Amino acid sequence: MGIWIATAVCALLVIYLVWIYNGLVTLRNRVSNGWAQIDVQLKRRHDLIPNLIESVKGYMTHERGIIDEIARARSQAIAAGSNIEARATAENTLGRSLRSFIVQAEAIPQLRASENMASLQEELSSTENRIAFARQYYNDSVMQYNTAIETVPRNVFAGMFGFAAKTLFEADEGDRAPVAVRF
């Protein structure tokens, strides 16, 4: 009788470990999926930038600095790859540059009247909203995952199975400040 109880306890313990492990894997996969969704939207933004710059080049010859800044920020964002902290910093810089660029472009009457520019602005705005939603989903997933691996009893098993904390995709201080308008 005692052997049956010991076997049942061991079986329940194994089932519990499998349940914890599978739960942690599920949360880790949600984080990976969240990052993939952000990455898709950031790629979409990166693809829009050359068209946006090309459509305003002739009108903004006196604003060459902002165009170069956007190109440089885009290159840094692409070069950051999957390093979330470096990518977040680079993407936040790119976002600020784009907002400043749009404000300056709107000050040019010919650009405001351009259907192509209006279409690109709408597409960029839509993409920025998608990035914000994807970032929110990712950060929510990271919070759930990090909480799971830090709470008892999962923290014991998370360490044994090599689950490590993930980094949030946070806005930096520059994103919290209003856009500076320069004419």
Looking at the structure, give the CATH architecture of the domain made up of residues 24-176. Up-down Bundle (1.20)
Q: What is the pLDDT of residue 68?
A: 87
For residue 120, pLDDT beyond 70: yes
CB atoms within 10 A of CB 106: 13
Mean pLDDT is lowest, of 60-69, 82-91, 156-165, for 60-69
pLDDT, tens digit, 9 for 90 and up, residues 46-67: 999 998 888 887 777 767 788 8
Band (107; pLDDT cuts 50, 70, 90): confident
DSSP E strand stretches across the chain: none
Q: What is the pLDDT of residue 66?
A: 85
Percent of the chain with pLDDT over 70: 92
Q: What is the pLDDT of residue 51?
A: 87
Residue 53 tokens, joined? 């710059």
pLDDT, tens digit, 9 for 90 and up, residues 18-51: 999 999 999 999 999 999 999 999 999 999 999 8
Average pLDDT of the chain to the nearest whole number? 89
Between the CA of residue 8 and those of 1, 11, 18, 152, what are the distances in Å? 11, 5, 15, 23
Q: What is the pTM (predicted TM-score) of this model?
A: 0.84
Residue 4 tokens, joined? 């049956």
Q: CA 119: distance to chain centroid?
A: 24
User: How far is residue 38's CA from residue 104's CA, in Å, rounded to a whole number?
Assistant: 27
Band (123; pLDDT cuts 50, 70, 90): very high
Q: Which has the closest alpha carbon to 72: 100, 44, 49?
A: 49
Burial grade of 183 (CB within 10 A; 0-12, 13-18, 19 or more):
exposed
